[in-house]
Amino acid sequence: MPPARPARITALLLAGGLLLATGCGGGPSPAASPSKGAAGYPRTLDNCGQKVRVTAPPKRAVSLNQGSTEILLSLGLADRMAGTATWTDPLPKSLRKAAATVPRLADNAPSFEKVLDQEPDFVSASFESTLGKGGVATRGQFDKLGVPTYVSPADCTKDNGGDGDGARTDRLTMDDIHGEVRDLATVFGVAERGEKLIDALKTRVRTATRGVHASGATLLYWFANSESPYLAGCCGAPGIITEAVGAKNVFDDTHEGVAPDQLGDGRRPRPRCAGAR
């Protein structure tokens, strides 16, 4: 499916609204990049079934989806980014100045050659499809060139087959988002900034949900389209929001993140449902 659909649903966490995962604003000021051979390197992460090994803090990273871009910007790493791509939503004001200093390779998916032109030493993405067959390039293609890659664990822990946004057996949680922040902070050698960002995200959630008691409300997450609607199921980003405010999703028994045609399956939303995108 087109990358814009999962990107927009991830944006519920990473680019806007109640659980903005990168809009904590005013992240730590960028510090001088550690030199090659800095203490603690090489570093190796387990990521989506692959080993990610970096021999030094990246200095020319390319982020290929907005969610990943916003995390790097929020960690104060604009000075170590050689390019960004695949934009779906406006940036939070707190990140716009930093983002303006990083080349935008494409509004959508760039070509493999365009990415390589930046001479990247690290490539990150929010979705498996971006670094898979039919995407910008496979992780194997980058690996052959000695460029380590990283994919958001929030995407690879679900079944990405079918026409929707993938199906989850386990619910996505804010701990999953925090884990991605820690991973990227570890790669770049800015662990302290990572923990500060995570603390800021926790504070935002507490502040946003304080005094909210929506246990009597049911929600319908109408994601896209009118003739063949895409509606959010129980276990992706909308599920985090629903649980945080104590409400109930009409399609809570559906494990797809965003799935088509659900309004035509006989389960009409009750009249008291409140629509939410």
137 and 190 co-located in one domain: yes
Q: Between residues 47 and 163, which one has the greater pLDDT?
A: 47
As a whole number, mean pLDDT of residues 188-206 equals 97
How does strand 218-224 pair with strand 230-232?
antiparallel
Beta bridge partner(s), residue 46: 51
As a whole number, mean pLDDT of residues 140-147 equals 98
If one counts every other C-beta atom within 10 angstroms of the C-beta of residue 206, the result is 10
Of 207, 239, 255, the domain-final residue: 207
197 and 63 co-located in one domain: yes
229 and 116 co-located in one domain: no
Domain annotation covers residue 271: yes
pLDDT confidence of residue 267: 43
pLDDT band at 262 (very low <50, low <70, confident <90, very high): very low
State which residues form the domain around 227.
218-276
We report the CATH number of the domain holding residue 90 as: 3.40.50.1980
138 and 262 co-located in one domain: no
Q: What is the DSSP letter of 270?
A: P
pLDDT confidence of residue 234: 78
CA atoms within 13 A on the CB side of 269: 22
Domain annotation covers residue 234: yes
For the chain, the 3-state helix, strand and coil shares in percent, each to the nearest 5, are: 35, 20, 50
d(CA 192, CA 194): 5
Comparing 28-32, 53-57, 144-148, 164-168, which segment has the lowest mean pLDDT?
28-32
Residue type present at position 176: D
pLDDT band at 141 (very low <50, low <70, confident <90, very high): very high
d(CA 242, CA 276): 11
272 and 140 co-located in one domain: no
Cα 28 off chain centre by: 20
Is 204's pLDDT higher than 50?
yes
Domain annotation covers residue 29: no
137 and 258 co-located in one domain: no
Of 151, 182, 207, the domain-final residue: 207
d(CA 270, CA 211): 26
Is 12's pLDDT higher than 70?
no
Domain annotation covers residue 213: no
pLDDT confidence of residue 255: 63
Q: Domain count for the chain, please give it.
A: 2
d(CA 71, CA 77): 9
Give me the chain's average pLDDT, please. Answer: 80
pLDDT confidence of residue 159: 58
For residue range 73-130, list pLDDT tens digits in order: 999 999 999 999 999 999 999 999 999 999 999 999 999 999 999 999 999 999 999 9
pLDDT confidence of residue 9: 36
pLDDT confidence of residue 229: 74
Of 207, 237, 256, the domain-final residue: 207
